[in-house]
Amino acid sequence: MSRIGKKPIPLPSGVTAQVGERLEVTGPKGKLSVPIPPGITIEQTAGRLEVKRSSDDRAALHGLTRALAANAVQGVSSGFVRELDIVGIGYRADVKGKVATFTLGYSHPIEVLLPDGVDLRIDKQTHLVLSGYDRQALGQVAANIRALRKPDPYKNKGVRYTGEALRKKVGKTGASAK
């Protein structure tokens, strides 16, 4: 039995849900749409959403649909935040409008166009705060930025998520005399 799928999703004030072919969730931050797979139904009762399934072979889709719907409700009401840190001498970032420019030790600066619904704020040139209402798009932008210069296991330089635990490897110990 899906434990996630059984939990009801409370609808905060200011958030409306429209159930049809897809679940349309509208709130102060924006509007999101969640697909409803066959065999799954969503019922709206007394300010909350309940996800139900037709049979036990739909258990995986039951939990998935409930999680996607809960993320949509949270996204349009309060939004999501993802934080990254840039570590390395001379590594920094700058943002102008929807274009973020990164200087990460390459011979050229790298420009990243931010999609609609994702905002970037930079603190002290090395701490990035991404915010948005679509969790999937926000996570993808954060992963793309991290992929520009992944953390080096020897020097720990690069772009990493805030609080990400890195394992530092031991480098060479010098020339061995034989």
To which H or E segment does residue 69 belong? Answer: helix 59-77
What is the per-residue pLDDT for 84?
A: 92
Which single residue is written with the structure tokens 């954060």? 142
Q: How far is CA 73 from the centre of its chain?
A: 15
Q: How far is CA 31 from the centre of its chain?
A: 17
| 80-161 shares the fold of 3-77 | yes
What is the per-residue pLDDT for 33?
A: 92
Helices (H) and strands (E) counted in the chain, each on its own, are 3, 13
- State the Cα angle at 45 between 42 and 47, rounded to 5°: 110
- Whole-angstrom CA distances from 130 to 16, 67, 73, 118, 166 are 25, 21, 19, 7, 21
User: Which of 137, 24, 8, 128 has the alpha carbon at shortest distance from 79?
Assistant: 137
What is the per-residue pLDDT for 81?
A: 94
Q: Read off the pLDDT of residues 17-61 as tens digits, 9 standing for 90 and up.
A: 888 889 899 989 889 999 999 988 988 888 888 888 888 888 888
To which H or E segment does residue 73 belong? Answer: helix 59-77
Give the domain 3-77 fold: Outer Surface Protein A; domain 3 (3.90.930)
- Whole-angstrom CA distances from 156 to 34, 87, 128, 144, 171 are 39, 7, 17, 18, 12
Contacts of 115 by beta carbon, 8 Å cutoff, 6+ apart: 137, 141
What is the per-residue pLDDT for 164?
A: 78
What is the per-residue pLDDT for 131?
A: 92
State the helix-helix crossing angle for 59-77 and 135-148, rounded to 10 degrees.
80
Which residues in the chain come in under a pLDDT of 50? Answer: none
Region 80-161: CATH code = 3.90.930.12
- What residues does each domain of the chain span? 3-77, 80-161
